[in-house]
Structure 1
Amino acid sequence: MTDDPNSPQKPKRPAIQRPETLRAETQRKPAQARPEPVQPETEQAAQPSASPEPTAPRASTIRVTPSPQAMSPQPSAPEAQAQNLSAPQDPAAQIPVTQPPTVPAEELAELVPELTPMFPGASPFLARFLPHSPPTYAGLNESFCDLHAFLKYLHEHSWYGYLYAVLGDQTAYVLLFEGRTVTAAAASATGEQALGELLNLYEQGASLSAHPLSPVYAHVLSGIGSRAWKFNLTEDFTGLHARPTGAIFYARGEIVATLPATLPYEGAFPAPLRPQTLILPRSLAGWAHHHYNLTLRGRDGMNAITDVYQVFKNEYGATGLAFIRALGEKLTPAEYAMRSDAALHDLEPMVHSFLKTGYIREV
């Protein structure tokens, strides 16, 4: 059936608004009365508000601790909107944007620990930046502990830490990485000469102690020598950054510790990717700097088709074969130790054995 256009029109019913339309209008009403947004912290501090009337702080989406309201069951969306329209929000239940969350001091200390200097005020750079560490071994001396045997023991156990020798007012410090001596310092020497100084003091009756370190700290300190370099922080920087206000330990670009030990200027001690072993000076280990010639027996010891080869291999293994080949290529034991990252105290007994059994002879 169709409506007659000539018939009187019936009054129209009022349009029923959709829930979405009603909700949109309801949300627009409080938006007109909403105060201006709170400026960020830096801008708010630099530009004071021109209006004398206080404005309610804007709620932040970051909460340091959950409030009791957040712990209780939350109302549904329609109920929450009704509460927003009917009752003002409590400013105390909100956190202003100008109050960022803070990290507790205890957690900050755990993230970046502050170490204590073991030798505060020491003159050698290495000693100055060594952190405090209770000794694993203390009171060692020449009368009952052979130093070379002790170093070999530390090498076999891949020990990390530093040695400290003292005799009267004379001191020496040696850092070990994976049980290898990688850097050293004494009153007037660094590197190999300082390592020799520690051995000399020990032979004269010095007391020796061994202080353990974590592998990360030992690596950071392995680059400390006789001078500091210009600091250039890169994403993979590992080493020590020294300043007049303190020192910072970096591992692969990240701060791993701080130490209240200073330099009068700013400088850096970058650590090598893999610390190299210190070699004793010629005056203390002349055998390590000598050249050796292979005898006929020594050349047979490297020839796999001879009976001497089997005897040699059974006695010295692959390590001995690599070492005697290097001697045949005119490398000194010290040069071989540098290239192969071997310890001299492991090579010394082989050199003496090679000489005794006739595999090599000294030039």
Structure 2
Amino acid sequence: MPSKHRTHRMEKLARIYDAEILPVWSQKFGNLLMRGLKIPERAQILDVACGTGYPTTELIRRKGEGARLIAIEGSSALLDVARKKLEKLEPKPSGVFLRSQAAEPELKFADGVYDLVVCNTAVHNMEDPAKAISELGRVTREGGEVRVTIPVAGSFVEFFDIYREVLVKHDKHETAQRLRQHIDSKYPAIDVCERWLQDAGLEDVSVEVEEFTLLFRSSREFFFAPVIEFGPLAEWKAIAGAGQEMQDVFWYIKESIDAYFEGRPFEITIRAGLLRGIRSDAATVTDTATDAEEEESVDPGTRPGSDPDPDAIDIDMDEDTMNPDTLDPDTEDFEGTLEGLPYIKPLGDVEDTNVPGLPKRDEEE
């Protein structure tokens, strides 16, 4: 059940996402996701973890009048933004359904329902990515397509090299091992991605990789950029431990970034991966749900033979499923770009010594 608690952090994320994160992150992956995509005229489409409505809006533009699209998102704060965005579309989209529904631990849909299932930059943040992809395959009908985008091996390599160097230099070998495990699990190799797809009952599997870069003018901008602060930063800090131990590690990382990249941008490589496969005709489908359970869990707009109002954007808003977070950024101001370069904007004008999780200079001295 989705939680009824909507955190300040998620409300903040919903407000800034389209301006601060979507252009430098989600759209980069989404362009790859949508590349060469062909949607059957009467397709049943599922967009998992649709966030603020991207790539939902792109799917709406590409689908035919006879196609139906259901988009699900676990955070009602993000889904509120998606709903308002879709309501402003002209002409008014038909056959589109939004649901406040988490993708974990399993999708609340029957087997073999959809012709196309997509998930943009979300699977790698789920507790069990392999199971998540298996669920995407389960709800895809025979001959249907699954498309997933995630950052793959080689992403954030510049940051991880510095992180690892700091840990080794200070004899934190157990922490270095945790970092290695995190990198391997969070940013999988190509063969691992292919195995996930195959284990999900998909064939003709492929993994297409495309690189892009994020540019930062300093360590402060890096740690305070919304794409980092609202993204992987909490996990990176957890690897280092807690309290003073974590603060010490991140202080040295900060110092190293500014020393190594003095006078030039801190450039971060992201390797975007498109995982793609077709539901095999021979795939075994095990239906454990009763007919009554299926009627409750499957949206009427996603089943052949159902007849919902094709002209309605059907909104079913539940509450937020995200966990509370202690980060509580209050500032609404953002710095601009530098000399036309696509630098990532930091969240607020904050002094170097006040970066969350980093000690002040006098504490280090």
TM-score (norm 2): 0.22
More helix, by proportion:
2
Larger relative contact order (CA 8 Å, sep ≥ 6): 2
TM-score (norm 1): 0.22
